[in-house]
Chains A and B, each alone.
Chain A
Amino acid sequence: MKALARFYYEFIESIRIAWAQIRANKMRSVLTALGVIIGIVAVTLMGTAIRGIDTGFNNSLAMLGDDVLYVQKWPWGPVEDWWNYVNRPPILLADAEKLNRIIGNTPNSLLEVAVPVAGRGSSVKAGDSRVDGIFVFGTGADYARISGVDYQEGRLFNELEAGAGRSVCVLGYDVAEALFPGRSALGGAVTVGGHPLTVIGVFAKQGEFLGLFSFDNQLVMPLTAYRKMFSIRGRTDLRVKVTDKTRLQQAKDELVGAMRRVRGQLPDERDNFSINEQQAFKAQLDPVKTAIALAGLFITGLSLFVGAIGIMNITFVSVKERTKEIGTRKALGARRRTILLQFLIEAVSICLIGGAVGMGVAYAVFLGIRFQMPNFPVQFSPDLVAISMLVSVVTGIISGFAPAWGASRLDPVVALRYE
Chain B
Amino acid sequence: MTAHPAAMIPPPPPAINSRRTTRPPGPLVIDIEGVTKLYHMGEETVHALRGVALKVHSNEYMAIMGPSGSGKSTLMNMLGCLDTPTSGHYQFNGRDVSSMSDDELASIRNREIGFVFQTFNLLPRSTALHNVELPLIYAGLPPAERREQARQALENVGLGDRMLHKPNELSGGQRQRVAIARALVNRPSIILADEPTGNLDSKTGEEIMQLFDQIYEQGNTIIVVTHEEDIARHARRAIRLHDGLIESDRMVNA
Residues of A within 8 A of B (CB): 2-3, 5-6, 9-10, 13, 20-21, 24, 324-325, 327-338, 411-413, 416
Contacts and interface: CB of A to CB of B under 8 A. Distances in A.
Interface of B: 77, 80, 82-83, 102-103, 106-107, 109-111, 115, 117, 121, 123, 125-126, 134-135, 137-143, 182, 186
The 9 nearest A-B residue pairs measured at CB: A333-B110, A6-B140, A333-B138, A328-B121, A335-B103, A335-B106, A412-B82, A332-B135, A20-B125
B117 A328 contact: yes
A333 B111 contact: yes
Contact of B115 (A324, A331, A338): A331
A332 B134 contact: yes
A3 B140 contact: yes
Contact of A5 (B102, B109, B135, B142): B142
A165 B135 CA distance: 93
B82 to A, nearest CB: 5
Contact of A333 (B109, B117, B125): B109
Nearest to B106: A335
A325 B125 CA distance: 11
B102 A13 contact: no
A9 B145 CA distance: 12
Nearest to B121: A328
Contacts of A337: 103
Find the residue from A332, A335, A338 having the highest chain B CB count within 10 A.
A332
A413 B109 CA distance: 13
30 contacts: A5-B140, A6-B138, A9-B137, A10-B137, A20-B125, A20-B126, A24-B125, A328-B117, A328-B121, A328-B123, A329-B138, A330-B82, A331-B109, A332-B115, A332-B135, A332-B138, A332-B182, A333-B110, A333-B138, A333-B139, A334-B106, A334-B138, A335-B138, A336-B103, A336-B106, A338-B138, A413-B82, A413-B83, A416-B117, A416-B121
Contacts of A334: 106, 138
Contacts of B121: 324-325, 327-328, 331, 416
Task: Determine the main DSSP class of A at the interface with B.
Answer: helix
Nearest to A417: B73
B86 to A, nearest CB: 13
A239 B103 CA distance: 74
B138 A331 contact: no
A332 B110 contact: yes
B115 A336 contact: no
Contacts of B115: 331-332
A334 B121 CA distance: 14
Given A9-B143, A332-B138, A416 B82 contact: yes
Contacts of A24: 125
Nearest to A4: B140
